[in-house]
Structure 1
Amino acid sequence: MNELYGRIILVAEKEYFITDDLTQALEKAGADVLGPVGTLDGALSLLEVMDRVDGAVLDINLRDEAVYRVIDVLEARGIPYVFATSDGETAIPDKYKHVPRWMKPFHLEDLAKGFGDLLRR
């Protein structure tokens, strides 16, 4: 069974080409992509109006703003998420060291499969 089929996945990423590739990979795996958005306010606005979000793929920095306020909303709602980032481990506060992190550049098919595994937990 495809774990991503019909799942609503928020994509918050500032780099256009990565966003495009990531969106295509998730959609190919059966997910419905929410966004994508490249700003903190954009991500927060989508979370405010959407009753259902099944997961999120987040860049740590969205146009020079840290994504941690988005994470607070996701965690309060029990929504799983992953970081898709080129930032090293030192850029991530200790509070978020437990979050799965996929380093850019990554293989998109592996990311979609890994996210499906996360949703299965």
Structure 2
Amino acid sequence: MEWFERASLAGDDVAAFNLAVMLDEGKLVPEDNGKAAKFYRLAADRGNVDAMVNLGLMLGNGEGIAKDIPAARNMFRKAANEGDTFAERKLAELDGNDAFQTAMLGKTSRIK
């Protein structure tokens, strides 16, 4: 963990991602989703697509950080733009849920 942290501080996005995974899963170190989210964000800001996806999942579920669907959508969009097919599916799910909710709101507002 110490070496991943050092490499992360030196600008290595893969090290930041690996450190985030360790903290997220809690297998080799105590689980700390708040810190995991910070390292995922650091790696995502450096262009790490896997970190974008994992941060999107955390944002979408409110795991370790406040639930933020627009921010999750943004992370998935960035990863999808880099060709990540899982992110494309997650983005479609979020967009589909929004379309469904909009349709339901439209139907309920017409009921008299």
Tell me whether the two structures share a fold, i.e. TM-score over 0.5: no
User: Comparing both chains, which one has the higher relative contact order based on Cα–Cα distances under 8 Å and sequence gaps of 6 or more?
Assistant: 1
Query: As a proportion of its length, which structure holds more helix?
Result: 2
Compute the TM-score of the two structures, normalised by the length of structure 1: 0.30
Query: As a proportion of its length, which structure holds more strand?
Result: 1
